[in-house]
Chains A and B, each alone.
Chain A
Amino acid sequence: MTCRRSALGAAPVPAPTPVPATAPAPATALLGAALAAALSVAAPAPAQTPPGVLVVAQIAEPQSLDPHAVTAVNDFRILMNIYEGLVRYAPGTLEVEPALAESWDVSDDGLVYEFALREGVSFHDGAPLDAEAVVFNFERMLDEDHPYHDTGPFPLSFFFSAVESVEAVDPLTVRFTLEAPYAPFLSNLAYPTGLIVSPAAVGAHEEDFGRNPSGAGPFRFVEWVSNNRVVIEANPDYRDGPPDLEAVVFRPITDANTRVAEMLSGGVDVMVEVPPDNLAMFEDDPRFDVHEQAGPHLWFLILNTREGPMADRRVRQAVNYAIDKTALVENVLSGTAEVAAGPTPPAFGWAYNEALEPYPFDPDKARALLAEAGHEGAELTFYVTEGGSGMLDPVAMGAAIQADLVRVGLDVTIETYEWNTFLGRVNPGLEGKADLAQMAWMTNDPDTLPYLALRSEATPEQGGFNSGYYANPEVDRLLEDARRSTDQDERARLYREMQAIVQEDAPWAFIANWKQNAVTSAKVAGFELQPSFFLLLRDVTKN
């Protein structure tokens, strides 16, 4: 599951810097030469990637290279290298820093954001990146009457639904006016949905812009051969200097096993989302480097608090006690995750409640709580999915959790669903269907997950994701206050308080925080995973 959003501080705004125009051009020529050299026809060891060209194994074919039209982390990995936004997350953190905007100002009431663009930046197609271009980007997404609104759909445009208007104050100044204070706004701007696309390219390609992207990022688009590769090459005019790599090739390899095979046989230089069990093998092999990075991810079970045994808090706590989370993260996930304590991942350092300790593994306590609640031997239905972004190894985890719950005397039946069917069943609420359901979220702001999934006003009937119908007025109040506050310390205090209450109420079983991983070939240097789960290749080198 992918969720994102972040809201962090506010600040000044940049000005455009020219990015030389280069249309997606004879890039094949460059590659042809550089790359073809590497492969003599059908020789053994067929896959040796040429120096200077990084081959990245993606988990799927991208949906589109229009950053406003996509939702998948998989696509973000490409997009973050082609485009830039007004702001970005500082490397290694989830803190917002300037990008295309040099600086920004936020009004005291938190309603007006004014960004100063960098001077002299242009898109790959040569058009200048100015305030009008930024306005075009947001109006395309938000204004149903915009001439290019039909080049969508823009599924994540609601990230900016708080925006009342966007104006170009002057060529290098953009002003956003919000309807209400909305703390996560800046963080959302740093998200791929906030990346700035070239209005000229949208105008030229219209609904096919997603296959002919043009941005202002460190790499520019070369070609997209469906189901085979997306190729981008260094943008020599990147505002911050061209990257070291000549080109990057993204290969969609949907099957994890095949990705591992390609990595082992040298067909790719980088693979992400390595199956946990293969990680140790790569760690032991000098030909490869393994990278890990904890991110704002939470894997949990939604418990149906509206009906059945789970309506009783003791039963929910019993479930939390009964599950051997350490065994799950250490064994089933081979140490690729850490035990989660509460609803907020520790990656949000400033908002995380360090005082929280995870529910210990205590089957006896679980049995006692069940006995106290009079629900020994309760029959429960457990929704498990077969896969899905951020779901890690859901079937194995589901089976292990089921076994743990059986051990404390609960009668748990698993029902597995393919991901979209699963979402189709879980998102409308568990009432009448299930008592437990797996779920995972990756967010970019501590506001997102609890605001969408723990408020009493966020039940599915009201358009939220509170599929377990948890309701606690205190939590509601804390979340609303945190969203309106523009003071980060104040927000942090509110979030920590919320975490303690939620942990005690146990509307979820808190299981794990994933550490994202990647394997690179030893030839690759300067590779770092980001907490945001993006893949930034600007500083990567390969000999």
Chain B
Amino acid sequence: MGAYILKRLALTVPILVGLSIVVFAMMALIPGDPATAILGAYATPENVERLNRQLGLDRPLVAQYFTWAGNLLQGDMGRSFALNRPVADEVFERFGATLVLAGAALVLASALGLLAGIISAVRQFGWTDRALTLLVLVGVSTPSFWLGLLLIMLFAVELRWLPASGMFAIYGGGDLPDLLAHLAMPAVTLAVVAAGVIARLTRTAMLEVLRQDCISTARAKGVAERRVIYVHAFKAALVSVIPLIGVQAGFVLGGAVYVETVFQWPGVGRMLVDAIARRDLLLVQGGVLVVAAFYVLFNLLADVAQTLVDPRLR
């Protein structure tokens, strides 16, 4: 197990290196440069050149890459051009916010998705199944950015139950209830699609498991039906659902860009969109790396969880 994890961790290194090269190349190919972005209207070639010199961007790209990589190895992710602060500070702060949002969404999506999937598999072809199947389809068919807008209109502006945006109240907040109040709408918005996908996968996995011999054995033993479904069948289905939840994490992280935009959530997705717009190379680089590393680690975690559930994989 330990060796396996180490091997997997080692495998992430080439992925991250590849990714960082892709990001550097991509940022180099995008027209416009950070100096233009900073100077805006004053971006005359002369001013741009002067600022690029100050920012150290007049050096060849390859040299810049190696400087960056060298600093990274010493734990320094560089300084953001646009924000005048260390990339690491900004990235980790924003990533924390995204983690809260994406984590809540993923937990919500998994809980709802698994439950819906189980129920609709057990009640296969019954009206509950049909209703859930339809609901799940509604979930995977709703544009999340649109849903977010509708939620704000209803719960923040009309009913005034929930704050419209942000992560904490500006004053008096900062505690858990405050966070939850701010988290409710964005997390739901972000969870809807993933919940639908997980529900569909769970339903299929459950249907497959429920006809296996070991389920008949459990029933032949006189195990209560609840236990047959929620312990025997569910655990077996989980083996095939867990890796898919890992993949969903990627989609949730991606979808967070829309949700963070609509709800003004101070997360890393929105930060990256802004950073690309501002050509803030080091910030993009740092942000993408952290998100990707997290994604890879999360999938590793999913694999480990799968192994914990299924002793045959050990």
| A residues at B contact (CB < 8 Å) | 1-3, 31-32, 34-42, 44-47, 49-50, 53, 55, 61, 63-64, 66, 69, 71-72, 152-153, 155-156, 158, 207-208, 210-211, 226-229, 249, 251-255, 257-258, 261-262, 264-267, 388-389, 418-421, 423-425, 427-428, 441, 452, 460, 463-465
Contacts and interface: CB of A to CB of B under 8 A. Distances in A.
B52 to A, nearest CB: 10
B157 A156 contact: no
B37 interface: yes
Given A258-B152, A424-B33, A227 B175 contact: no
Contacts, number: 183
Nearest to A227: B266
B44 interface: yes
Nearest to A35: B171
Contacts of A441: 41
A406 B159 CA distance: 45
Interface stretch (B81-89, B106-114, B226-234): B81-89
A251 B162 contact: no
Given A255-B261, A265-B160, A63 B82 contact: yes
Contacts of B171: 31-32, 34-36, 38-39, 49-50, 53, 249
A264 B274 CA distance: 26
Centre residue among A153, A420, A441, A452 by max chain B CB count within 10 A? A420
Contacts of A37: 172
Nearest to B93: A226
Given A44-B161, A262-B164, A463-B44, 19 more contacts: A1-B40, A41-B175, A46-B160, A46-B162, A46-B163, A46-B169, A63-B84, A71-B39, A153-B55, A207-B84, A226-B266, A228-B167, A253-B166, A254-B270, A254-B274, A257-B262, A258-B263, A265-B164, A465-B41
A261 B164 contact: yes
B166 A42 contact: no
A34 B47 CA distance: 45
A267 B164 contact: yes
Contacts of B170: 35, 49, 55, 228-229, 249, 251, 267
Interface of B: 30-33, 35-47, 51, 54-55, 79, 82-85, 89-90, 93-94, 97, 149, 152-153, 156-157, 159-173, 175, 177-178, 180-181, 261-264, 266, 270-271, 274, 277-279
A261 B180 contact: no
B169 A39 contact: yes
A158 B42 contact: yes
A427 B46 CA distance: 12
A253 B264 contact: yes
28 contacts: A32-B171, A36-B171, A37-B172, A38-B172, A39-B171, A40-B172, A42-B178, A42-B180, A46-B160, A47-B164, A50-B171, A53-B171, A55-B170, A152-B54, A153-B55, A155-B35, A210-B85, A227-B93, A228-B167, A249-B170, A254-B264, A254-B270, A254-B274, A261-B153, A421-B31, A423-B37, A427-B44, A441-B41
A427 B32 CA distance: 10
Contacts of A257: 149, 152, 262
A432 B172 CA distance: 57
B55 A427 contact: no
Given A63-B83, A258-B165, A261-B152, A423 B40 contact: yes
Contacts of A39: 169, 171-173, 178
A134 to B, nearest CB: 23
A41 B181 CA distance: 9
A252 B36 CA distance: 23
A389 B41 CA distance: 9
A251 to B, nearest CB: 6
A207 B79 CA distance: 10
Nearest to A153: B54
Contacts of A45: 160
Nearest to B149: A257
Nearest to A460: B45
A265 B84 contact: no
Contacts of B40: 1-2, 71-72, 388-389, 423
Contacts of A32: 171
A460 B51 CA distance: 17
Contacts of A464: 44
Given A66-B84, A258-B152, A421 B32 contact: yes
B55 A261 contact: no
A61 B79 CA distance: 17
Nearest to B266: A227
Contacts of B33: 424
Contacts of A34: 171
Contacts of A460: 44-45
A287 to B, nearest CB: 13
A320 B94 CA distance: 47
B10 to A, nearest CB: 34
A256 to B, nearest CB: 11
Nearest to A443: B41
A252 B14 CA distance: 37
A71 B32 contact: no
A155 B279 contact: no
A196 to B, nearest CB: 19
A511 to B, nearest CB: 17
Contacts of A427: 36, 43-44
Given A63-B82, A463-B44, A424 B36 contact: yes
A41 B165 contact: no
Centre residue among A229, A264, A388, A464 by max chain B CB count within 10 A? A264
A441 B79 CA distance: 30
A444 B279 CA distance: 28
Nearest to A69: B84
A463 B157 CA distance: 49
Nearest to B175: A41
Contact of B156 (A265, A419, A452): A265
Contacts of B47: 155, 158
B177 to A, nearest CB: 4
Given A1-B40, A39-B171, A261 B156 contact: yes
A227 B51 contact: no
A227 B181 contact: no
Contacts of B277: 418-420
A279 B278 CA distance: 29
A421 to B, nearest CB: 5
B157 A265 contact: yes
A342 B229 CA distance: 77
Contacts of B84: 63-64, 66, 69, 207, 210-211
B279 A420 contact: yes
Given A3-B42, A262-B164, A227 B31 contact: no
A61 B277 CA distance: 14
A75 to B, nearest CB: 11
B279 to A, nearest CB: 6
